[in-house]
Amino acid sequence: MADLTHFDNRGNARMVDVSGKDETERTARAEARVSMKPETLSMISEGRAGKGDVLGVARLAGIMAAKKTSDLIPLCHPLPLSAVEVDLECDAANAAVIITSSCRTTSRTGVEMEALTAVSITALTVYDMCKSADRTMTIESARLTFKSGGKSGTFQAD
């Protein structure tokens, strides 16, 4: 099993020292989905939600969340993000909103947590804005789909 880098030799939590790493371009992409009743998806795609533009507000929430990742996740390094993109697609065949994010930086550590935070908060925002219409919604499959840069190289999910 790999060493747990967020613990010192006494088992205390610590922030990993990345000062010796080279700054490289790093990218990460993540995805998640919110499954719901077909009528809820229609309400979203037709812009009939009582709280307003679900997709637009959720996109903005995801971008803002990526920028705040180090405030939300203990021991996560604050990163100078070069770009954050969040896309939402209404999938009528599966009654779901598919969320994807992409984050880029030139830094000493990766942006996987920022990409995952973006899709997670985007999904939570979709849920929050539609919960009065559909409490059966489920947030599913938040996962890293791609990362590049740094010592560990490139990862591509199946």
Q: Which residues does the annotation mark as catalytic?
A: 128
Per the structure block, which two tokens stand in for 116?
A: 């995952």
Give the chain's length: 158
**Contact predicate 104/25, CB 8 Å:** yes
**Tell me, what amino acid is at 69?**
T
Pick from 79, 148, 146: nearest CA to 119: 146
Location of structure tokens 């610590």 = 14
The DSSP element (H or E) to which 29 belongs, if any, is strand 24-35
Location of structure tokens 């037709």 = 46
d(C-alpha 60, C-alpha 136), whole Å? 24
The total of other beta-carbon atoms located within 10 Å of residue 1's CB is: 3
